[in-house]
Amino acid sequence: NQDLCIGGASFVSLTGVVSGTNTITHYGISGFRFQGVSTYSGTISSELGEIRADTQGSYNNVSAFNIKNGVLQIVHPTNVNVVGTKPPDLAPINLTSGRLYPENSAFGGTGLNPAFTYTETVGPVTILAGNNQIGMRAMATTGSNTLTIASLSKPNAATTLQLSVDSVPSGGSQLG
């Protein structure tokens, strides 16, 4: 049960069961993800890169996400209408010049289901410092896509928050 620091020029994927409670810190411009059902229950931190939550069951027990100059990208699989369980619904997300960005993987694809929809709920989001963004992207010509945030706080008045929705013109996406 040791802290783990990872990063580099290439995307880092941990496969199989990841367990433990100590902090995992990702450094650098590349990405990091769990690929496989995990029992890990510590904090995941990222400085400058991407944490990609794209495998159902991989992040169910994570206690918190700290994103600094990076992104927590929640990717839902195509051709399945899902209620998200990627990050735990109660895990705090702390952004310092960071970005929270769920999307469906059908966006921009060809031959994929344009009616694909998702619903994602995340825990409390705290905007700590810098310029931050909460957005979502969806390729839904019917149905809807929803991001629900348990609570949102911005304790430092000097920080900024941008909200965005990228969707096809007839799609229904909402931040809630």
At 102-142, the pLDDT tens digits run 887 655 554 455 556 777 889 999 999 999 999 887 665 56
Residues 6+ positions from 11 with CB-CB distance below 8 Å: 30, 31, 32, 33
What's the pLDDT at 80? 60
Better-scored residue on pLDDT, 147 or 174: 147
> How far apart are alpha carbons 21 and 18 in whole angstroms?
10
> How far apart are alpha carbons 66 and 95 in whole angstroms?
6
- The pLDDT tens digits for 15-31 are 888 899 999 999 988 88
What's the pLDDT at 111? 47
Other C-beta atoms lying within 10 Å of the C-beta of residue 5: 12
Name the range with the highest mean pLDDT among 28-37, 38-47, 140-149: 38-47
Q: Is the pTM of this model over 0.85?
A: yes
> Do the beta carbons of residue 136 and residue 106 sit within 8 Å?
no
Phi, psi of 46 (to 5 degrees): -135, 130
> Do the beta carbons of residue 149 and residue 126 sit within 8 Å?
no
Would you say residue 67 has pLDDT above 90? yes
Other C-beta atoms lying within 10 Å of the C-beta of residue 103: 23
Which burial class, exposed, middle or buried, applies to 169 when counting CB atoms under 10 A from its CB (0-12, 13-18, 19+)?
exposed
What's the pLDDT at 138? 66
- The pLDDT tens digits for 68-87 are 999 999 887 665 666 666 78
Strand partners, 153: 126
Q: What does DSSP assign to residue 108?
A: T
- Rg of the chain over Cα atoms, rounded to whole angstroms, equals 16
Q: What is the average pLDDT value for the chain, to the nearest integer? A: 82
Better-scored residue on pLDDT, 151 or 85: 151
Q: Greatest CA span in the chain, whole angstroms?
A: 49
